[in-house]
Amino acid sequence: MALRAYRHEWRLPFRLARRQLGDSVHGPPLNDLAGNWRKAKEFFTKPALSYGEFKQQCVSLRLFAFGGVCGACALSLVIFPPKSSYWVTWGPSYWFSHVQRCFGSAPPLFLSKKLETTVSAPKVASAPKVEQLRSESSAAPAVSPKAAAVPAKPRVLFVLGGPGAGKGTQCAKICEHFPQWQHISAGDCLRAERQDPNSKDGELINTCLKEGKIVPVQITVRLLQKAMVAGQKEGKTDFLIDGFPRNLDNVNGWEEVIGDSANVMGVLFFEAAQSEMEKRLLGRSETSGRVDDNLESIRKRFATYEKETRPIVEKYRDKEMVFSVDAMQSIESVWSHTLAKLRQVESIAKFGQ
Ligand SMILES: Nc1ncnc2c1ncn2[C@@H]1O[C@H](COP(=O)(O)OP(=O)(O)OP(=O)(O)O)[C@@H](O)[C@H]1O
Ligand SMILES: Nc1ccn([C@H]2C[C@H](O)[C@@H](COP(=O)(O)O)O2)c(=O)n1
């Protein structure tokens, strides 16, 4: 007896739902879709003769209206996915690759062996601004048929964060693991240029470095352009532009000189507390030989960073282009966060921003 009562317990929700219709209504139960569909159609085709009948038509119609609205919302999320990086990482299209990864059969997100000559010279040359990029180089690389499959535009990820946040350290790890990436540090380019006795900009760069000030973009962007061209000749397709853009002048200079000839995928942003960054830089000063790794210059660099660079990060954040990494942890832990963010960048690039 008790068992029989228990067996019927699952019907309780349906009984409760039906009670709301009032005892006078004897329509199809909620799980009778065909019956409800008939009643829902009657809403449009048959005038109700009683309040009870009208209520039943509404209830049946509501069932399909609810299903339709939910289905349309789900479909629109698939057809027009939100651009948010959270959606890309946690949305249903990513569930499949999560599961695939568990079985080790997912295709690698990044290339795992060294690229051969992969620059598509004809495509690169056809874009006017890339022509500018190429004009910096003397000899064009030989083009193999395979090269035609590679996207013409170099992909760029700006890398920002306070002085000593660990940008260079993590960029080096990315390049170590993924051979299509090249690390180009704006600061390194400027330091190398300063050493060149033939450079007319050496003195100006030197003063800016010591004072923690930002060098005029005309100088910096030319050096970045030159480094990218050299990287392309070696088959690099993806560039980590470290320490750039540092201010509005940098942003505008990039737009003018590089503009559409490169695909900027976002900003990889390393976040750390000033006290930690100061400690790291003072540690680095023992071996780096950098003129700006001393307490006075470090503090000036922090001030410049807060005043000029942070607002730039916020600008990119407003455009949902910032991939933040908590840089306060150990190098290895920061690396695992960096990898996760790179995957997001890659997914967003794949599904189109
Ligand atoms: N997560 C970390 N934990 C502890 N030390 C770190 C970490 N990451 C980097 N470092 C050390 O901190 C110092 C600064 O790192 P790095 O040169 O990568 O910083 P950066 O952001 O590129 O600095 P800058 O902007 O001045 O070029 C280095 O000595 C590096 O070994
Ligand atoms: N876009 C840039 C990048 C760097 N500099 C100058 C000023 C910085 O203090 C210095 C060192 O840079 P880091 O190696 O710490 O990234 O280089 C600049 O003027 N403009």
* Atom 12 in ligand 1: residue holding the nearest Cα: 280
**CA 339 to ligand 1 center in whole angstroms:** 17
Q: What is the pLDDT at residue 347?
A: 86
- Judged against a pLDDT cut of 70, whether residue 238 lies above it is answered with yes
The pTM assigned to this predicted structure is 0.67
Q: Which amino acid is at 146?
A: K
For 123-134, write each residue's pLDDT tens digit: 323 333 433 343
In sign, the C-alpha dihedral spanning 118, 119, 121, 123 is: positive
Q: What is the pLDDT at residue 299?
A: 96
CA 153, CA 226: separation in Å to the nearest integer?
A: 15
* Atom 20 in ligand 2: residue holding the nearest Cα: 214
3-state secondary structure of 292: coil
Q: Which residue has the tokens 């060149």?
A: 196
Number of H helices and E strands in the chain, helices first, is: 17, 5
Annotated binding site: 164-169, 191, 213-215, 243-246, 250, 284, 290, 301, 329
Asked if 120 and 152 count as a contact pair (C-beta separation under 8 A), the reply is yes
**Maximum distance among all alpha carbons in the chain?**
100
Q: Which distant-in-sequence residues (6+ apart) come within 8 Å of 261 by Cβ?
A: 127, 128, 129, 130, 132, 133, 153, 154
Of 208, 211, 218, 300, which is best to mutate to test ligand 2, by the most ligand atoms within 8 angstroms of its C-beta?
A: 208
Average pLDDT (328-339) is 97
Q: What is the pLDDT at residue 285?
A: 97
- Judged against a pLDDT cut of 70, whether residue 147 lies above it is answered with no
Say which range, 7-11, 18-22, 308-312, has the weakest mean pLDDT: 18-22
Average pLDDT (149-172) is 90
Q: Over the chain, what is the mean pLDDT? A: 82
Q: Pick 278 or 350 by higher pLDDT.
A: 278
Asked if 232 and 215 count as a contact pair (C-beta separation under 8 A), the reply is no
Say which range, 129-143, 247-261, 335-349, has the weakest mean pLDDT: 129-143
- Judged against a pLDDT cut of 80, whether residue 15 lies above it is answered with no
CA 114, CA 175: separation in Å to the nearest integer?
A: 11
Asked if 224 and 189 count as a contact pair (C-beta separation under 8 A), the reply is yes
Average pLDDT (77-105) is 64
pLDDT class of 98 with cuts at 50, 70, 90? low
ipTM of predicted complex: 0.98
Inter-CA distances, 321 with 77, 234, 301, 350, 353, Å: 20, 28, 24, 15, 9
Q: What is the pLDDT at residue 349?
A: 74
To the nearest 5 percent, what fractions of the chain are helix, strand and coil?
60, 10, 30
| Ligand 2 pocket list (CB less than 6 A) | 163, 185-187, 190, 208-209, 212, 214-215, 220, 243-244, 246, 250, 292, 301
